[in-house]
Amino acid sequence: MIGRLNHVAIAVPDLTAATAVYRDTLGGRVSAMVDQPDHGVTTVFVELPNTKIELLGALGEASPIRGFLEKNPSGGIHHLCYEVDDILAARDRLQAAGARVIGDGNPKIGAHGKPVLFLHPKDFCGTLVELEQA
């Protein structure tokens, strides 16, 4: 069911500094910063030949990554995003298997303008998983 690794997301306390690390130190091709108010984050994507890195900065006091950054003050890997062909079919299959979908269970439009869902880390080897309909 899961397909390509769409991106690895890294939550960071200072998105400008993290972008500079990926652009200047690692020589990566980085996007502009984009606020994602529906998700409470600001994103920068680093384009790699085989996948992407999503740098996440907190947007607003209620940002869902604030707790993660309190536990990981220098930042850390926040989630993995796998592509699926049909997000509703994937959700139904996972829920039937007992997996927990975060939120109300309905896909939201993610950072690439495509529907996404997040799955509870306790059900997936301690890793927050994002599914994106490719």
Tell me, by CB under 5 A, how many residues bind Co ion.
4
In the residue annotation, 130 being an active-site residue is answered as: yes
CB 99 within 8 A of CB 123: yes
- For residues 84 to 113, the per-residue mask of contacts with Co ion, x marking binding by CB under 5 A and - elsewhere, is ------------------------------
Q: Judged by CB under 5 A, does residue 81 bind Co ion?
A: yes
Nearer to Co ion, 94 or 132 (CB): 132
- Residue 109 forms beta bridges with which residues? 115
Among 15-23, 25-33, 48-56, 64-72, the segment contacting Co ion (CB under 5 A): 48-56
CB of 99 to Co ion, least distance (A): 18
Q: By the criterion CB under 5 A, which residues form the site for Co ion?
A: 9, 54, 81, 130
